[in-house]
Amino acid sequence: MINPKLKPGERVILLHMNDETSVLPGTWGTVKRVYELFGTDQYDVEWDNGSTLSLIGDEDMWDNKERKKKTIKEDDRNKFFMDNIDVFKYFNMKFLKKYLLMIREASITNMYGAGPYLYMGRERIEHEFKYQDIHNEDAFEEVLDHANQAQAEMINGVINYLEEKGIEGDMSNINRYLQRFATKIVQTYTFL
């Protein structure tokens, strides 16, 4: 059951939090206080990552039980890799995986929104967060230090893919395939 009633001392796992990046989905926490505000249940939570953001019944999603992950059969795993072979063929997945881990550590977005950060580049990421409070500035600086390399890896991968497939390498195709491959790379990262 999603969004069950919680009691102080109970463990909770975050499934989704509106407009927040310091607590990622899958983070566990302990309920500290339960109250109602404007007719909505609210829970003060001490998250395992150190954050103390509250859960709001109308906006956020959580559970209090650990769900057993579906066991992935070897055939399913092989099918996934074969369906996404172009990600491994054209892109430096070793670097991009490390970069996605940096994004995760910096807590600037949840992993479902990480795709664009693969190709945005340093200047655009800096501009996006210019007036925002960054919780882990060292990790954020590491993201910025590697953002242009990630952007170059993405563009090179897309251009190589387009050339091999005989698709015109104009800007609209490059942009379209950047978005498409960024999504596939994030999906591959979460599968790994």
Give the global pTM. Answer: 0.60
The whole-number pLDDT of residue 69 equals 46
Domain count within the chain: 2
User: Average pLDDT of each block of 10 consecutive residues along the chain (192 residues)?
Assistant: 83 75 80 87 89 82 64 59 81 90 90 91 92 86 96 95 93 93 88 67
68 located within any domain: no
Do residues 1 and 63 touch, judged by C-beta distance below 8 A? yes
Q: Quick check: is 187 in a domain?
A: yes
Cα 13 to the center of its chain, rounded Å: 16
Phi and psi, residue 35, nearest 5°:
-155, 170
Same domain for 85 and 55:
no
Q: Specify if 43 maps to a domain.
A: yes
Q: Angle between the 137-165 and 171-191 helix axes, to the nearest 10 degrees?
A: 120
Per-residue pLDDT at 21? 63
Helices (H), the chain: 74-83, 85-90, 93-106, 122-128, 137-165, 171-191
Domain boundary among 63, 84, 105: 63
- Range of the structural domain that residue 45 is part of: 11-63
Q: How far apart are CA 32 and CA 106, in angstroms?
A: 25
> What are the angstrom distances between the C-alpha of 124 and each of 59, 88, 108?
29, 26, 14
User: 164, exposed or middle or buried, with CB in 10 Å at 0-12, 13-18, 19+?
Assistant: exposed
For 87, list phi and psi in degrees, rounded to 5. Answer: -65, -40
Closest residue by Cα to residue 27 from 18, 37, 19, 15: 15
Residues 122 and 144 in one domain: yes
Show which of 23, 38, 63 is a domain's final residue: 63
Nearest one of 153, 24, 18 to 90, comparing CA atoms:
153
Same domain assignment for residues 80 and 53: no
Tokens 């983070």: give the residue.
Answer: 27
Does residue 146 belong to any structural domain of this protein? Answer: yes
Classify residue 69: in a domain, yes or no: no
Confidence at residue 72, expressed as pLDDT on a 0 to 100 scale: 47
Q: Is residue 5 domain-resident?
A: no
In terms of domains, do 59 and 83 share one? no
Same domain? For 56 and 107 the reply is no
> Do 100 and 128 share a domain, yes or no?
yes
Per-residue pLDDT at 77: 60
